[in-house]
Structure 1
Amino acid sequence: MSQEFSRTDRVSQEVFRLLSNMLRREVKDPRLQGLTLTECKVSKDLAVAKVYFTVMGAKQDDPAVTDALKALQKAKGFFRTELGKQLSLRITPDIRFHYDTVPDHVDHIEQLIKKALY
């Protein structure tokens, strides 16, 4: 019987779920208003979790994105401690936050398609 998801996929989903809940319920930093987690990728050895985020209405070079990244970096210790308590893993993944540029690219591609059609 084959596995539907690898262990790294399951851990990624759980880290994503836990971080989303923490951001929604426990973190009160105003710099994180409008922030949405988009994806989490955990390395094969489960030592690193890359967490991607977007900020509503902001592009990559906006000050809101820079402020959100600083706030996430500041809360990184809190997130890792809470993940360690809630995950039953030998190693708690190191969390690395990255701005997700995919929505910016989608807007650009949509503009190109509209330009080509009209």
Structure 2
Amino acid sequence: MRKNSIKNTRVNEEVLRELSNIIRGEIKDPRINPMTSVVAVEVAPDLKSCKAYISVFGDANSQESTLAGLKSAEGYIRSKLARNINLRNTPEIRFVLDQSIEYGVNMSKLIDDVNRQGEY
């Protein structure tokens, strides 16, 4: 199975949806920020590993504690994923902090500041 095959794309989408539901509704860890979202998921073609890109709305301390909470709940998340998705192998999930939304907001603010300075 190639990395960008139709099957792999469908698996990525299904894992993304289920992972979002599990993080949003089933994990009760107080370290995990309620404004946590799964941005993207990359499941390896052999279905053994998975990178989940997580975006957390908050400061750096909140982001680090959310990552720590997710890493400690990794076994629970994987077992729930195995029950909800019928795959040959349930992938091992590695959570990666995604800074792209925060970067985009900061760039937008900088562009707005430059545009306001140019008006004067």
TM-score class normalised by the smaller sequence: 0.7 to 0.9
Give the share of equivalent positions with the same residue, in percent.
Answer: 33
Which residue of structure 2 aligns with residue 92 of structure 1?
A: 90
**TM-score of the two chains, using structure 2 as the length reference:** 0.82
Which residue of structure 1 aligns with residue 44 of structure 2?
A: 43
Shift of the alpha carbon at 1:102?
0.2
Shift of the alpha carbon at 1:100?
0.7
Which residue of structure 2 aligns with residue 52 of structure 1?
A: 53
**TM-score of the two chains, using structure 1 as the length reference:** 0.83
Cα root mean square deviation, aligned: 1.6
Question: In structure 2, what is the Cα distance between the partners aligned to 1:74 and 1:115?
Answer: 41
Question: In structure 2, what is the Cα distance between the partners aligned to 1:81 and 1:55?
Answer: 23
Q: 2:101 aligns with which of 103, 112, 115?
A: 103
Question: In structure 2, what is the Cα distance between the partners aligned to 1:35 and 1:26?
Answer: 13
Shift of the alpha carbon at 1:15?
0.8
Which residue of structure 1 aligns with residue 29 of structure 2?
A: 29
* One-letter identity of the residue aligned with 2:109: Q
Question: In structure 2, what is the Cα distance between the partners aligned to 1:51 and 1:28?
Answer: 19
For residues 25-50 of structure 1, the C-alpha deviation after alignment (integer angstroms, 9 at most, x for no partner) is 21111221221221111122222211
Shift of the alpha carbon at 1:67?
0.4
Question: In structure 2, what is the Cα distance between the partners aligned to 1:69 and 1:92?
Answer: 21
Question: In structure 1, what is the Cα distance between the partners aligned to 2:61 and 2:35?
Answer: 13
Count of residues in correspondence between the two structures: 111
Q: 2:115 aligns with which of 107, 112, 117?
A: 117
Alignment gaps of 5+ in structure 2: none
The farther-off stretch of 65-74 and 23-32 is: 23-32
The structure that has the greater radius of gyration is 2
Question: In structure 2, what is the Cα distance between the partners aligned to 1:74 and 1:31?
Answer: 10
Alignment gaps of 5+ in structure 1: none
